[in-house]
């Protein structure tokens, strides 16, 4: 996993760096501006005319650095600013003054943006708001932002040449939600952020409005590691006291695993488990997953989940089917085992076998059957408890969660299921965002996990995984990893099976859910468009082989 910080955590890192005397705010702002200019020059080497839009805070300060450096590089640069230097924070004010030594500042209004005497620019740099956005922009600034977003029908024109510093203004960097009324919000071609990604870059609308995201190193990492002996997440955690770490499930978790990263250690564990397939082991070493099916004609979802559990390396996978569906299952499966699970008593008896280490409950089961089986694992006092992955009909049977569920459960809701399980949290997530930082999918998933006392994986292109102790991770299937073809019937059943399979092998629920989210998307990427859910388990061996 790689680090993902909130705006407050980023501020805490910067503040501590300043206070320790290792760097000044002006140094950091200069480095930030240099990073933006380098990224611009690499992508638009021929840009001649540039408009820089500066807000009232330090994001605006970065804009003044960019304006000065581009002017020094020979560009014709025009600066529109929301505040006079005296009303800006000290570092931003200093950079505004440096700009004024050989330039002018025009008011940041739609009229000056569209001034026919200047005409069009090759590039527009959005330095209006970054991590400090605290409320929806109003007045002139809102009007400019809506124009950049295409309120006059020219959204594509701007989005092809808009470079955002830290974020397109209006994007809440904690939630990925838009704090700007109206549909026309700025969409950048390129966003340059500093030190590490912020949660808002990968959540909700962040990926859509940021375009390509470049993380520019402003020199804080060596200081954090050498002086503090921590990575950003650990440091932010340490500073904030109670805020547990947030990780981004890395696109290359095994290659980029980081021995010091507490949140990354599960990937090492997972690798070891895959690597330890040796002659001395036998099938029970890798656990036994039980997947419950629905009745006749409704066993496909569970069979998909079971195949995924087997492919991801569970030693044994058994389908538990009612008598009427046994023949259907038997005709379709080979490597899977089959047991009759007619009612709750059959399940209780099966779970008496301590070698069953994971149970997948929900896909295709029907709500009534799922409710009966849930009652067995919920109240039956089954010992030792297998990890229970509850999906689909299992989640519907669960209904609103008001009190903690037994430990060791993993809930895997999509948006609709999440709203049924946690209606108040879903309402907060969909209510208009009128202050920053806005309530985020990470906040909602963390609250859900704390309330349910178990791991919650909240699906979507931005999948969020949270544990009851507050650990959370985002898995982003966006940007270069976008797999819109994964939104296909049955894909969720495969994900539930992957989690059950990894849990059967001994991974903890949080680690299994993170790893499964990654493997699921890698399998979809490996297969490509045209994918149907059946293809996912079959694409897994290639993905696992590539991990070494």
Ligand X SMILES: NC(=O)C1=CN([C@@H]2O[C@H](COP(=O)(O)OP(=O)(O)OC[C@H]3O[C@@H](n4cnc5c(N)ncnc54)[C@H](O)[C@@H]3O)[C@@H](O)[C@H]2O)[C@@H](O)CC1
Ligand Y SMILES: Nc1ncnc2c1ncn2[C@@H]1O[C@H](COP(=O)(O)OP(=O)(O)O)[C@@H](O)[C@H]1O
What is the token pair recorded at 68?
């000065």
Let me know: does 492 contact 391? Beta carbons within 8 Å: yes
Q: Tell me whether residue 4 or residue 496 sits nearer to ligand Y (CB atom).
A: 496
Partner interacting with residue 58 (select from ligand X, K ion, ligand Y, none; CB below 5-8 Å by kind): ligand X
Strand 49-54 relative to strand 123-127: parallel, antiparallel, unpaired?
A: parallel
Residues from 444 through 463 that contact ligand X (CB under 6 A): none
CB of residue 307 to ligand Y, shortest distance in Å: 14
If the CB atoms of residues 172 and 477 are measured against ligand Y, the closer one turns out to be 477
Applying the rule CB under 6 A, the residues between 7 and 66 that interact with ligand X are 14, 25, 28-29, 32, 55-60, 62
Q: What is the largest CA-CA distance in the chain?
A: 85
Site for ligand Y in 516-535 (CB under 6 A): 520
Residues that bind K ion (CB under 5 A): 126, 164-165, 169
By CB under 6 A, residue 302 contacts ligand Y: no
The verdict on 264 binding ligand X (CB under 6 A) reads no
Piece in contact with ligand Y (CB under 6 A), picked from 113-121, 274-282, 381-389, 453-461:
453-461
459 binds ligand Y (CB under 6 A): yes
Does 544 sit near ligand Y (CB under 6 A)? no
Minimum CB separation of residue 416 from ligand Y in Å reads 8
Asked if residue 364 belongs to a known ligand binding site, the reply is yes
Please tell me the distance from the alpha carbon of residue 414 to that of residue 308, in angstroms, as a whole number: 19
CB 274 within 8 A of CB 543: no
Region 353-392 residues binding ligand Y, contact defined as CB under 6 A: 392
Strand pairing of 462-466 and 190-194?
unpaired
- Comparison of 165 and 350: residue with beta carbon closer to K ion: 165
Site for ligand Y contains 463 (CB under 6 A): yes
Minimal distance in Å, beta carbon 495 to ligand Y?
4
Q: What are the b/e assignments for 333-366, b being 16+ CB within 10 Å?
A: beebebbebeebebbbebbeeeebbbbbbbbbbb
- Residue 486, interface with ligand Y (CB under 6 A)? yes
- CA torsion angle 255 258 261 265 (round to 10): 60
Please give the span between the terminal C-alpha atoms of the chain, in angstroms, as a whole number.
18
Angle at 251 between CA 250 and CA 253, to 5 degrees: 55
Strand 472-476 and strand 462-466: the pairing is antiparallel
Helix (H/G/I), strand (E/B), else coil: 547:
coil
20 DSSP assignment: T
Interface segment toward ligand Y; rule CB under 6 A; list 112-120, 156-164, 314-322, 481-489? 481-489
Q: Which of 484, 528, 541, 542 binds ligand Y (CB under 6 A)?
A: 484
- Taking CB under 6 A as the criterion, the residue among 344, 492, 501, 537 binding ligand Y is 492
**Could you tell me the two tokens for 171?**
């994007």
- State yes or no: residue 185 binds ligand X (CB under 6 A): no
Closer to K ion by CB, 210 or 305: give it.
Answer: 210
Q: Is 293 annotated as a binding residue?
A: no
Residues 6 or more apart from 324 whose CB is under 8 A from it? 295, 296
DSSP three-state, residue 517 = helix
Q: Residues 461, 482: contact at Cβ < 8 Å?
A: yes
* Residue 459 binds: one of K ion, ligand X, ligand Y, none (C-beta under 5 to 8 A by kind): ligand Y
**Contact characters 141-180, ligand X, x per CB under 6 A:** x-----------------------xx--------------
- Applying CB under 6 A, among 132, 453, 460, 470 the residue interacting with ligand Y is 460
SS3 of 358, please? strand
Distance CA 432, CA 492 (A): 29
Neighbouring residues of 232: CB distance < 8 A, sequence distance ≥ 6: 3, 5, 9, 13, 195, 196, 220, 221, 224
Find the shortest distance in angstroms from Cβ 62 to K ion. 8
- At what angle are helices 25-43 and 90-100 packed, to 10 degrees? 60
Question: Applying CB under 6 A, what is the total number of residues that bind ligand Y?
Answer: 18
Tell me which of 14, 174, 393, 493 binds ligand Y, using CB under 6 A.
Answer: 493
Exposed/middle/buried for 8, CB within 10 Å: 0-12, 13-18, 19+?
A: middle
Footprint of ligand Y (CB under 6 A): 392, 414, 459-461, 463, 477, 483-484, 486-487, 489-493, 495, 520
Which residues line the annotated binding site for AMP? Answer: 459-463, 492
Footprint of ligand X (CB under 6 A): 14, 25, 28-29, 32, 55-60, 62, 89, 91, 129-137, 141, 165-166, 194
């Amino acid at each position: 996993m790689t680090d993902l910080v909130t705006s407050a955590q980023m501020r805490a890192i910067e503040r501590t760096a300043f206070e320790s005397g290792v760097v000044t705010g002006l140094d950091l702002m200069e480095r930030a501006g240099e990073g933006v200019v380098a990224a611009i020059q690499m992508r638009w080497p021929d840009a001649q005319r540039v408009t820089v839009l500066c807000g009232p805070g330090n994001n605006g300060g970065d804009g003044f650095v960019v304006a000065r450096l581009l002017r020094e590089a020979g560009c014709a640069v025009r600066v529109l600013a929301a505040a006079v230097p005296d009303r800006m924070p000290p570092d931003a004010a200093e950079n505004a003054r440096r700009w004024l030594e050989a330039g002018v500042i025009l008011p940041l209004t739609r009229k000056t943006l569209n001034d026919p005497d200047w005409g069009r620019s090759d590039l527009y740099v959005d330095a209006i708001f970054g991590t400090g956005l605290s409320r929806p922009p109003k007045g002139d600034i809102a009007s400019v932002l809506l124009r950049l977003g295409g309120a006059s029908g020219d959204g594509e024109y701007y989005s092809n040449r808009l470079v955002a510093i830290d974020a397109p203004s209006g994007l809440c960097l904690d939630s990925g939600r838009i704090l700007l009324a109206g549909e026309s919000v700025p969409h950048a071609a390129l966003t340059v952020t500093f030190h590490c990604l912020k949660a808002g870059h990968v959540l909700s609308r962040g990926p859509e409005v940021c375009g390509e995201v470049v993380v520019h190193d402003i020199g804080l990492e060596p200081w954090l590691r050498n002086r503090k002996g921590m990575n950003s997440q650990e440091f932010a955690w340490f500073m904030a006291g109670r805020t547990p770490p947030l990780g981004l499930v890395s696109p290359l978790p095994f290659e980029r695993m980081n021995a010091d990263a507490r949140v990354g250690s599960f990937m090492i564990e997972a690798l070891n488990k895959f690597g330890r397939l040796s002659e001395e082991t036998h099938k029970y070493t890798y656990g036994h997953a039980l997947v419950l099916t629905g009745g006749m004609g409704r066993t496909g979802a569970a069979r998909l989940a079971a195949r995924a559990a087997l492919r991801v390396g569970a030693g044994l996978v058994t389908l538990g089917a009612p008598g009427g569906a046994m023949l259907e299952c038997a005709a379709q499966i080979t490597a899977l085992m089959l047991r009759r699970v007619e009612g709750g008593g059959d399940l209780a008896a099966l779970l008496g076998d301590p070698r069953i280490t994971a149970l997948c409950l929900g896909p295709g089961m029907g709500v009534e059957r799922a409710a009966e089986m849930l009652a067995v694992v919920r109240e039956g006092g089954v010992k030792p408890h297998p990890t229970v992955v509850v999906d689909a009909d299992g989640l519907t049977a669960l209904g609103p969660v008001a009190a903690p569920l037994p430990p060791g459960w993993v809930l895997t809701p999509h948006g609709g299921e999440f709203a049924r399980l946690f209606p108040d949290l879903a309402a907060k997530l969909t209510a208009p965002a009128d202050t920053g930082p806005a309530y985020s999918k990470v906040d909602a998933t963390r609250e859900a996990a704390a309330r349910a006392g178990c791991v919650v994986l909240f699906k979507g292109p931005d999948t969020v995984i949270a544990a009851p102790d507050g650990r959370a991770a985002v898995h982003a299937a966006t940007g270069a990893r976008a797999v819109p073809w994964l939104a296909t019937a049955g894909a969720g059943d495969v994900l539930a099976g992957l989690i059950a399979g990894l849990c059967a092998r001994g991974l903890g629920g949080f680690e299994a859910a993170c790893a499964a989210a990654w493997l699921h998307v890698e399998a979809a990427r490996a297969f490509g468009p045209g994918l149907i859910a059946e293809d996912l388990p079959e694409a897994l061996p290639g993905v696992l082989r590539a991990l070494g």
